[in-house]
Each structure stands twice: as structure tokens, then as C-alpha cells.
Chain A
């Protein structure tokens, strides 16, 4: 596998995605002296592409074709597989976004690759990668050996944050991608509308998540949670009790049937800790619970806890964080 590493970079209005920066760091680590090629799909802003070219990769390839801008998993995977073949890549890295995971499946087929998603650790010895990934909602993890000439990995967000990026000046090339088999392009993305936004950063990839539960008693009180989130620069989330009651939109929901998150810090406020909630947040690095019931199950899986009334604790906490941050 002494060949290049290809990674997919994603960008939004805020520029290069944090998940893609993580992927670049991991690519550098795995590539050794071999080149790292970043692919980016049509539709990314020029600013993001330029940012990518100085983020530590050796080459930037824009796959410029309108159908790819629609972000269809199978079609984009087809184009990426072609690119990986062209560059004789041994490893293809995808960031920890839903799109990245979607592509991993298509790549396993079109590139005939071994694959693993939600990867939190990876080491390389010649042709062999050893990866760790959480399973059962973070209640366990598996260590896998992937031995083969083509390996595709989708990373778990916030798992490789500290990896240093090199600074290089990469060439930007625009590629017209291969002709994609028409059946993969059937139908159309009719419309994209902005998500009913959660406050702050994206829930799925945020470094800090602050989530509220039924303990807030009514939608009028939920602003206390959002103020706490904003003091921390965190994404705000909620238990299903909150989204089912319509206090906040479904996009806030964390858990088995909502978003799965793995931030550095997860703060659960007025959430009891039902298994379906835990399934979505157990692999967070540090978990803090605030709950008036000292026996609430959430305390059993938390690192730190405050047993107390959220209506007095949360405002005090927001104030303290603002004070500390202002220094």
C-alpha cells in the first residue's frame, strides 16, 4: 500500500468543515511520506477550496460536475472511486459527517474496498490498518484489523482533534469526473431548505453539546438551556420528551432515534438517562449531569454531576462560564 491517501473534504458557508480538518490530520499521519490528495465536490465556495489548499494536503482536486453537487451517495462514491484508482490510493478517508458515512458504503462496492465507519483510533503498519470504533451506542468498542490493498475509513467526529496539520501550498486542479452511470442519477433533489436551526454549531459534530430534558417543565424555560449552550459555544440538544412535546424541533433530538453525538463534553440537564437517550451520547468524552433526583440513572454514566434544581443551577453556571470566559 505504498501509495497515496485520498480524502474527501467538505465545506459549508463557514468554510472547511471541522470534520474535514480532522480527516486531513489523520491522512497526514497515515500517509507518512506519501502524498495526500484532497477531493472536494462541485459547489464548494472558492474560499473553502483555497483554505483547503493550505490546510496540509499535497494536492486538491475539485470534482466539478453538477450532479455531484446534489450529494448523491452512490454517484459521488462512483466518482471518488475513479479518483482513488487514478491516484493509486491505498487509503480513502472520509470525515465524520452523515455524507461521509454514506459514501463509505458506495466506496466499499465501487472501489472494492475494506471499510469501517465511526473510527475513533487508527494505526498503520505497512498494508495493515488497526482501527477502533464504538459499537452499541458507545457501550462497547471493537478493535479491527483491516488488511488489504484498498481501505476506506469514515472517522467519528471529534476523535482526532489534536492532530497537527502541516502547512503546505497545494496545487488546485479541476477535474471533470467520469461519466456516472445514468441509473445512479435517477430522480432529483427537488429542494433544500434551511434546517429549523438548533442554536450554535451543528449538533452532530459540535465539540460541546448541552442537552435539556423534561426537567425544564415547559418550552418557556428552555431558553435557560440555550443561554448555557451559547456561553459555551456549544450546540443545544434535547431528549425525545422535549421534541415529542414540540418544545423544540426534532432536529434537537439526541438518542437512538435522533442524532448520535460524541463531543468532548456533553452536559445533560433535566434528563433522566433512559437507555434510548444514552445510546446517542454514551461515547462522549466527558459527561456532566444536572438533575434534582440524585438517584437518576444519568448520574451512573456521568463523570461529574450536580444534584440540584436546574432552575437555580443553570443560570448560575451560565453566569460563571461567561465570567471565566471574559477573563
Chain B
């Protein structure tokens, strides 16, 4: 089975968020980049499928600037991915989702697979757009929010479940398909030291940005205006009380009269 797993570097969870001097975007100076949480699960799931299907290959692919993209690709190699692909972004460019879809589509053309696996959403921008957008672009069946993903090598059928407004849906899709993963069957593994060292010497296949189809944008553009931090939460106003009844009475009154959250 051939799997391509798309991953995206995001700032690590503990990053102190702050806007750039002009206030328009996140200041990424000094940020440590890690695999996005759902992408960690996608990599884990890809490795589980590889282990269950002898002779499988898992290629991790990212579209992004160096060096952060190389770092997360090496992390994927250290975890057990068999190869890595980097679609390069010209320095300073901030692609929108349509450019990202095109880049991933191009990569899928270069590295055909039975399963294109993505995270259900990025942990930074939280769009959740790409899995179905990529399915649309490739003209393949696709779904987002998958759990309990498995593959039957005899029939080539991918099975998974997902929750929707209608209940728990059980799906069977043919390969190739595009799937956005919510949760792998295991918690993501961590890399062994010897594999981390080995991954530093492994090659990363590259698609230079010049190779991507250039597009004129009749559809207009998205421009970031501001990156805002919420007013700092100053900490909870603690209710003072002498009995649980008093605490309850005061909280309910505050929520109705001050916070106005329920009638």
C-alpha cells in the first residue's frame, strides 16, 4: 500500500503568540515548529497501516518554507515514514488555500498513492478546509473527520467512521481516496534516538516552487489585516461564600445580571 501523508509545521503549543510590528500577522521570529497535532495522528495512522500491510510505503509531504518544513519532514522520517517530499515555497510568500490545494495536487501527481491522508484541521489556522478541497481538486472521493481507519488490501477498500449531525457514519471508500483524520487507532508514538540520528542523513525529495503551475487570480485575494490577541483574561473573579448554597446563589445572580448569559 502506498500512502502519502500531508503534514504542516505549526508553532508548538507553548508558543507565546504575538503580532508582527505592523500588527497584521503572527510574529514567527524564534518560533519552534512542530508537527500539527492532527497531522501527528495522521502520521501514526499511516505507520499503523504500513505495519499491517507488508511492503507498504509512507511518504510525508509538506508545502512550506525551509527550514521549518525540513525539520518536520525529518521528524516524520524519524517516526518511520519511508520517504519525504518538500514542495518549496518562495521565501516570504504566504499562500492561501487555493495555492496550497494546487501545490498538494501537484505533489499527488508526482507521488501517486492509494491513500492521501491529512489531518482534519491545522492547529494554528484551524480551517479544516484542505481534505475535501484536495479531494475536489483531484476528483477523488474524500471525507474529513475520520476515525477507526483501516484498509483491506484484497479489495483495496478503505473503511472508517466519522461523527456527523446525523450520527456515527460508517464509510467504505475505494482507493485512491483523500481522507482527513481526526484520530488514529493509537496515540502518536515518539521517535527513538537512533532513528532521529538516522533521519538526519535521509534524503528529502524536492519540488521547486518554479515547477508549480503559475496562476492568475481572477478570483481575487485574501489579505490579513490584523492578528489580535484577546484582551488578557485577568483571571477568574472568585465568588466569596460561606456555604455552597450562597456560592450557588451568587454565581447564578452574577451570570444573569453581570454576564447576561442565561435568562
Which residues of A line the B interface, CB within 8 A? 10, 12, 17, 71-74, 77-78, 97-99, 101-106, 108-110, 112-118, 127, 130, 133-150, 181, 183-195, 202, 208, 232, 251, 256-257, 260, 264-265, 275-276, 279, 285-289, 294, 299-308, 312-313, 315-317, 319-321, 324
Closest to A208 in B: B262
A115→B177 contact, CB < 8 A = no
Within 8 Å by CB of B165, from A99, A184, A260, lies A99
A71→B166 contact, CB < 8 A = yes
Q: How many residues of B contact A (CB 8 A)?
A: 86
| B219 beta carbon closer than 8 Å to chain A | yes
Contacting residues, chain A, for B261 (C-beta < 8 A): 208, 264-265, 285-286
B238→A307 contact, CB < 8 A = yes
Q: Which of A136, A192, A276 has the most CB of B within 10 A?
A: A136
On whether A140 and B132 interact (CB within 8 A), knowing A117-B127, A257-B183, A316-B245, the answer reads: no
B252→A305 contact, CB < 8 A = no
A150→B124 CA distance, assembly (Å): 25
Which residues of B line the A interface, CB within 8 A? 11, 13-14, 17, 25-26, 37, 41, 96-98, 101, 123-137, 139-145, 157-159, 163-174, 177, 182-183, 218-230, 233, 235-239, 241, 243-245, 247-249, 251-252, 254-256, 259, 261-262
B139→A117 contact, CB < 8 A = no
Minimum distance in angstroms from B166 CB to a CB of chain A: 6
Contacting residues, chain B, for A109 (C-beta < 8 A): 98, 101, 133, 136-137
**Nearest 6 CB-CB pairs, A to B?**
A148-B220, A305-B236, A105-B133, A187-B173, A105-B129, A316-B244
A286→B254 CA distance, assembly (Å): 11
B225→A110 contact, CB < 8 A = no
Chosen A-B contacts, 11 in total, with CB atoms closer than 8 Å, are A77-B136, A98-B163, A99-B165, A105-B129, A105-B144, A108-B133, A109-B136, A144-B222, A275-B14, A299-B235, A299-B236
A319→B252 CA distance, assembly (Å): 11
On whether A12 and B101 interact (CB within 8 A), knowing A72-B141, A105-B130, the answer reads: no
A187→B157 contact, CB < 8 A = yes
Within 8 Å by CB of A106, from B136, B227, B256, B259, lies B136
B248→A320 contact, CB < 8 A = yes
Contacting residues, chain A, for B163 (C-beta < 8 A): 98, 195, 251
A187→B222 contact, CB < 8 A = no
Within 8 Å by CB of A286, from B123, B223, B255, lies B255
Given contacts A73-B142, A101-B129, 6 further A-B contacts (CB under 8 A): A105-B131, A133-B126, A136-B11, A184-B136, A192-B170, A303-B237
Minimum distance in angstroms from B105 CB to a CB of chain A: 9
On whether A102 and B17 interact (CB within 8 A), knowing A144-B222, A313-B248, A320-B252, the answer reads: no
